[in-house]
Chains A and B, each alone.
Chain A
Amino acid sequence: MPKRVTSPREVAAKESRAILRRAIRLALDTESAAVRHNTRSFNLNRYRATAALPDYDALKDEARRIKEHALVNRKALVQRLSESVTRNGGHFFFARDAQEAGQYIQGVCKRHCVRSLVKGKSMTSEEIHLNGALEHDGIRVVETDLAEFILQAADEQPSHIIAPAIHYSRERITALFRRKFQTDLPLDTGEDLTRFARERLRQDFLAADAGITGANLVSADCGSLLLVESEANIRLTCIAPPLHIALSGLEKIVPSRREFASFIELLAASATGQPLTSYTSVIRPPLAVPVVDFRGAGPATREFHLVIVDNGREALARDAQLKEALYCIRCSACLNSCANFQVLGGHGFGGATYSGGIGATWEAATTGQLKLARFSDLCTGCSRCVPQCPVRIDIPGLNVELRSRLNKSIPLSLTARAMHLLLGASPVENASAQQIFFAHYDRLARWGTLFAPLSNFFSKVPGARWFLEKSFGIDRRRHLAPFPRKTWVDISADEVTEKPDAPRGPGVLVLADVFTNYGAPERGKDALRCLRAAGVRVRLTKSLPDGRAALSQGMIDTARAQAETLSRYIAAENAAERPLLVVEPSVLAMILREYRKLLPAEAFVKLQNSTIDLVQFLARHFAEQGSDPRAVFNIRKFAPGPRVFYHAHCQQRAVSDPSITVEFLRRLGFEVTCSQVECCGMAGSFGYKKDFYDVSQAVSEELVEQWKAAESAKGPHTLLASGVSCIEQLQGATGRAVLHPVELLAKLL
């Protein structure tokens, strides 16, 4: 039995898998319900708000461009900003690390004899552990953002970058306040709790000697700050006390105040999903308005200090693979759209300061400790966050890179070495036995198929699952699909077109991806039958690994080698540049997205231009021919009826529009209900791993709920999913058969 976790702080720094496991347990047991509810409502609101932005994509491009440019020019911008702040009558300080920043602020407070200060929410101040340093000097530090107020009362780290107490339900806040503040005041509604906090804090604002805020952006040309908030605590912190200290990372600097314009609506839509939050302030402190003497301390003049923090950012900026993380504007869209984050929150999926998929890079960079990025293991690479990020950061790409570095930081174990040898896998790349197991799925499967049914018999031998769990961390509760005796390539000789009655024309190349080849050969065959029925000339490739499995384990070198081999093979096979059709969505997304980073530009573009989802190709084919697909696919042949519940694969949605498949099915006469979840929770190998089995199950609950809701509203539905792992997950969770779209189509022939 692992030791019980009594406070989130105990498991904040996730230096090891053991701590990560305990943090996951804590999150699932006590925080999940509130996190699910709150992140999902943020997520929905964001979809609505970004859809309503007239130029969402252009704004994202613009924001990205500004950030890229600013980072390149960071040295000059810091210099310019320092001059502007001084010109405005403020004080500028550049802190190389957390300690320097803390000491500077402590010094300013000492000089001003600060006894109490109010703070607006600032992740940077969490990062540099400012409160502890100030309290050490005997200063009373009051967090005024209500979420931070809760966390200060509970002594917990933030669990979300814009809603740090997102893991607290109303009921838990009530209990906390009763315990902490020993009050009989009513605390049973959101209004009660807000009134209670407001009344306490109003006194603190007016009595404070200093105010500390962060900043969403800082402009170098005139030293203006952009401050976005809804509670007005930041406005009060800036204006009520005579001394204002603003603290910000160097990545927040943009050249001029005009650039704020590109971020204001984009940030609000991406963050809280509003056109704007209640207050978006643009100020150039020190404010000119006289200080009102609320403290009764006599007249005072305003003083302003801007502290710009490096603390690992400069090193990050020089890190070619990870520097993208510095474009982050802390909107939290990537957290809210992450299926794993939705069930865990940042105490499970996060570090001491930063959380979610983007948080791992930040945590490692600002602490200088790679091992603190361990929670990046919770990024499955599903890529749902990618289209949501307002500055277009490849967040899964960052996590693969971190995983690769974490792998390389641990020496190769004997078992892992033996596995490389046994599998004949090259290059030999540092990874755990489990990672090698999953990364070389193709090799294992080849063996398994070669020796089927003996190999399948093995997995039923008593103790075999125990062995797999012990040695490779494969959860024994998971169903393992048996290896087929013959692969897709083996059984498709008949379907390939070198036959006299084959359709004419240049035809297409169908990729015999390893997952379909070894995992679902009949599905592959169905795909070919559909194409032939549609009059398409088909050639099936050899089955070569595409690198997806290796990449998801952080084995970038292996993935690159496989990508190169595959792309060379395709180039040789496909001189005529026929369309390359893919059945398995994770492989499709691998080629269309991940290959950009793995292949030379020319090879990537070539593949990108020819590769297409197989069902979408069919839809396009009929449209181009101007022929009616119903002449080929007859829905009346499908006895279960026209209602289907479709879950489109997460990675597929990052590279192609699933509505094309849906529209095609509708055209054939199906009534399609689509799932509204980001991911099924299986995410390739993720759900098979013992450490993550519970997370995976928790994620699938919402999907199952939606399916049930569809059935109770309209009657039975045929379950449809596009990925090998989604199909496994849905079958496991519903106990029902789940079809791939091509399997459904083949039944209409």
Chain B
Amino acid sequence: MMHNTDGQSEPVNLVSPAQQSYLDQFREQVSATGGTIEFVARSPEAVRDAVLARASSKRPILIAEPRYLSPDYFRPLRSEEGVLTHPHADDYRSAPVGVTEAFAAVARTGSVCVDIGADIAGYVSLLPRLHIVVVDAERLVFRPSDLFRLEQFARPTFHRDFVFISGPSATADMGPLVRGVHGPHELHIVVLC
């Protein structure tokens, strides 16, 4: 179940799941940007398993509470060992893995959209080397501009601060393309569908 920050439940269906072609395009684009992607069932356990598998033995895992996905999705994860929901400065310095939700994903560009304003998602999606992001397939739009056209966008509380993340941080300034600069070196996207 999706809900927005205004607290009301509001099922949104931006791209019909039948539009499998968007999902395919999204998958392709994510790998083109250097990210990885997997599709899991809409269940808290599946989210936990996907995150733990990708994080492998790396700890601690920082978690930013979801604001758009139901908090239930991160519940089983929260009780795992080495998972932190209220990190301190030192945790941010050293944690190798950060987990956030994304409130939308963009097929054409392989991007996920993360709200970085009020919550710690801004840090969690930025400082650890591995960023795992969970997004619902229903929140897939075709192009970045589609997001700006949505009614919700006009609402003052909605997406006040956000970032389109398209792959890990990268640079071509040192000669060849290098992935992993000041932000995450790896981006893993878990799509709920």
Contact = CB atoms under 8 A, between A and B. Distances in A.
A279 B161 contact: no
A341 to B, nearest CB: 17
Interface in B116-157: 116-120, 122-123, 126, 143-145, 147-149, 153
A264 interface: yes
A570 to B, nearest CB: 45
Interface string B148-172: 1100010000011111111111111
A622 interface: no
A231 interface: yes
A76 interface: no
Nearest to A230: B170
Contacts of B181: 146, 194, 198, 230-233
Contacts of B7: none
Contacts of A281: 116, 161-164
A276 B109 contact: yes
Contacts of B183: 231-232, 235-236, 278-279
Interface in A254-286: 257-258, 260-262, 264-265, 268, 274-285
B171 A264 contact: no
A189 B34 CA distance: 19
Given A146-B173, A288-B118, A261 B178 contact: no
Interface residues of A, number: 56
Interface stretch (A165-173, A534-542, A700-708): A165-173
With a 10 A CB-CB cut-off, give which of B29, B93, B172, B173 has the most chain A CB atoms: B173
Nearest to B88: A292
Contacts of A17: none
Interface stretch (A200-208, A315-323, A580-588, A637-645): A200-208
B110 interface: yes
A294 B93 contact: yes
A277 B161 contact: no
A55 B171 CA distance: 28
A228 B172 CA distance: 15
Contacts of A283: 116-117, 160-163
Interface string B21-59: 000000001001100000000000000000000000000
Nearest to B184: A232
A279 B169 contact: yes
Contacts of B161: 281-285, 287-288
B108 interface: yes
A624 interface: no
B116 A289 contact: yes
Given A265-B145, A287-B117, A282 B175 contact: no
A276 B182 contact: no
A708 to B, nearest CB: 27
B100 interface: no
Q: Which 10 pairs of residues, A with B, have the shortest CB-CB distance?
A: A232-B183, A170-B175, A261-B148, A261-B145, A146-B173, A275-B109, A232-B169, A231-B181, A288-B118, A280-B164
Interface of A: 38, 144-147, 150, 163, 165, 169-170, 173, 189-191, 193-194, 197-198, 201-202, 205-206, 230-233, 235-236, 239, 257-258, 260-262, 264-265, 268, 274-285, 287-289, 292-294, 296
Given A173-B174, A194-B174, A288-B117, 17 more contacts: A146-B181, A190-B174, A191-B178, A194-B181, A206-B93, A231-B181, A257-B153, A261-B149, A265-B144, A275-B108, A279-B163, A280-B163, A281-B164, A283-B117, A289-B119, A293-B89, A294-B92
